[in-house]
Amino acid sequence: MTEEKQSALNRRELISLGLAGAGLSLLPASGAQAAPAKVKTSARIVIAGAGAAGLASASRLAAALDGAKITIIDPRKQHLYQPGYTLVAAGIKPENYPVSTTAEYIPKGVQWVAERVAEIDPEGNRVVTDSGKSFAYDFLFVTTGLVLDYAAIEGMDEGLIGREGIGSIYHSPQGAFATWREMDRFTQKGGVGVFLRPASEMKCAGAPLKYTFLVEDYLSRRGVRGRSQLIYNAHSKALFSVPVVAEKVRMLFQERGVQVNYERSLKSIDPGRRIATFNTTEGTTELQYDFINVIPPMKAPDAVRNSPLPWQEGKWAKDGWMEVDKGTLRHVRYPNVFGVGDIAGVPKGKTAASVKWQVPVAVDHAVAEMAGTTSKSLYTGYTSCPLVTRLGRAMLVEFDYQNNLLPSFPGVIAPLEELWASWVLKTTALKPTYISMLRGQV
């Protein structure tokens, strides 16, 4: 490429970035209409969980209602920007990059109970904390998130992360940083890298793929790719739930020499021998590794799983995902209960971008009921995955329940092209937008 053409490309990408950054701040949330004035109500609203979905719900409810008693229950003092974990685990951001405090996002007038939700009783319309305190509600927003089930993998212990060639990008900021140290050691000398995703539902299903791409790029940049083998183990017959994206990833893996095994899920790990055992359609198989990115199965927290709220049958019943209407996020059997964020048993939507579109819909329906009206707002499954494919390049993949691609910036950012602009969105622009979401501003 000539210097003149490269310069023109850089200018176009800078323009794209500027438009994208502005667009992310202004992007409407799912078409839900803001109330023209605050709705007067004495409703008691309990929000179970102060993660992204809980804080965003609290902010929007506080802004929409006058006189409501809003209580958010969660013991976590730290708030964690989980989309940043992959960046920490790739050495792109420092360990504390995802960390802030819960307190700074609690809206004025909202009561924060810093305790764990122990019991949810939708028949009695109450939530009980681990200290035995009981909170009655007229409306309940369940925003508990999910649980990483490391114990489901035989031989795996969370204390192994960052040792014996074991990484795990989902665990925590500390775990992500320990993963970076272990990955850094691996990519200095090369060897066999093993990657995977669980057979359960999971948050941000693109993260295992992007981390595989990043490790491959580090090996190439450090000159040891030729003596390294990378193996990605897909849990199903596809690499991604959206067929066109799955095919694009398959092609990129093929170009970059990443071996793909289908219908494999991690059963056990032997850290001493550095052997990972996978379930397959024909039994089990072992893979030797020098580095492995362990991603555990994920399930609903006990407070939800042990309540009447989960699906009673079907693929979402076993792990306790909430039985909500996929369009309104309202519980199918308990209409004064909403499930928002990772806990919702819907076909897609376990990402921070999904929360941005889910929260306004659920809040709109609850507020409309308090006002004596109805809402037509619907969540159509919008999910966004900034799929990093190498240092400095990413694809901004956005889609819905029907696997339709939904580019926010058509003609500017093509969803299946590896662009510098998409990389900068992921590494720079998305966190401020996320914080604005927590404050109910986008």
Q: Tell me: the pLDDT tens digits for 239-264?
A: 999 999 999 999 999 999 999 999 99
* Upper half-sphere CA count for residue 10 (Cβ side, 13 Å): 8
- Band (pLDDT 50/70/90 cuts) for residue 412 is confident
Clarify whether 192 is annotated catalytic.
no
- Band (pLDDT 50/70/90 cuts) for residue 340 is very high
Hey, how many other C-beta atoms are within 10 angstroms of the C-beta on 89? Answer: 29
311 pLDDT higher than 90: yes
Give me the count of residues in the chain. 442
pLDDT value of position 10: 43
Domains of the chain: 39-146+300-371 (3.50.50.60), 150-297 (3.50.50.60)
Clarify whether 330 is annotated catalytic.
no
133 pLDDT higher than 90: yes
Sign of CA dihedral 261, 170, 148, 185: positive
- Band (pLDDT 50/70/90 cuts) for residue 361 is very high
- What does the pLDDT look like over 176-214, one tens digit per residue? 999 999 999 999 999 999 999 999 999 999 999 999 999
| Catalytic residue, candidates 219, 367, 385, 395 | 385
Tell me the pLDDT of the chain averaged across its residues. 93
In terms of Cα–Cα distance, which of 212, 202, 194 is closest to 241? 202
420 pLDDT higher than 80: yes
pTM, 2 dp: 0.92
Sign of CA dihedral 56, 60, 63, 69: negative
- Band (pLDDT 50/70/90 cuts) for residue 280 is very high
| Catalytic residue, candidates 53, 87, 148, 204 | 204
Tell me if 416 sits within 8 A of 245, measured CB to CB.
Answer: yes
What does the alpha-carbon distance between residue 195 and residue 294 come to, in Å, rounded to a whole number? 7
* Upper half-sphere CA count for residue 153 (Cβ side, 13 Å): 29
- Non-local (6+) Cβ contacts of 6 within 8 A are none
- What does the pLDDT look like over 370-409, one tens digit per residue? 999 999 999 999 999 999 999 999 999 999 999 999 998 8
pLDDT value of position 4: 36
* Upper half-sphere CA count for residue 200 (Cβ side, 13 Å): 25
pLDDT value of position 36: 63
Tokens of residue 94, six digits: 């420092």
What's the Cα-to-Cα distance from 413 to each of 19, 205, 208, 321, 420, rounded to whole Å? 10, 21, 23, 34, 10
Alpha helices (H) in 231-301, listed in sequence order: 243-255
